[in-house]
């Protein structure tokens, strides 16, 4: 996570404390890269089976997540930034 060493340290410490073995489900590698925090905007009025709507910032709830990418195969898994203790 270039440019954010404290955030990466927080993420790695949380993973170490909460995930006894973090292994890629695709290739079984154990070496992951902490990627930039992403924000998924959620439309609270979205009804399944209709075209997706995107809420603009400030117009609905958001879910922030931290992607971890497998350095071997590229598989990506996500952790809740809130659970890890990080907010954007």
Sign of CA dihedral 73, 3, 79, 49: negative
Element (H, E) at 65: strand 62-70
Q: How many domains does the chain have?
A: 1
Tell me, what's the pLDDT at 45?
65
Query: For the segment 48-60, what is each residue's pLDDT rounded down to a tens digit?
Result: 555 555 555 555 5
Query: For the segment 18-50, what is each residue's pLDDT rounded down to a tens digit?
Result: 988 889 999 999 999 988 777 676 666 655 555
What is this structure's pTM?
0.69
Tell me, what's the pLDDT at 58?
58
Place of tokens 């060493």: 5
Sign of CA dihedral 56, 47, 79, 2: negative
18, 88 contact by CB (below 8 A): no
Q: Which domain covers residue 60, as residue numbers?
A: 5-84
For residue 83, which of 19, 28, 21, 2 has the smallest C-alpha distance? Answer: 19
């Amino acid at each position: 996570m270039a440019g954010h060493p404290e955030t990466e340290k927080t993420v790695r410490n949380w993973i170490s404390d909460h995930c006894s073995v973090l292994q890629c489900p695709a290739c079984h590698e154990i070496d992951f890269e902490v990627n930039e925090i992403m924000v998924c905007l959620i439309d609270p009025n979205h009804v399944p089976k209709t075209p997706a709507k995107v809420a603009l910032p400030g117009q609905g709830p958001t879910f922030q997540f931290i992607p971890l990418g497998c350095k071997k195969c590229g598989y990506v898994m996500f952790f809740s930034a809130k659970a890890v203790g990080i907010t954007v």
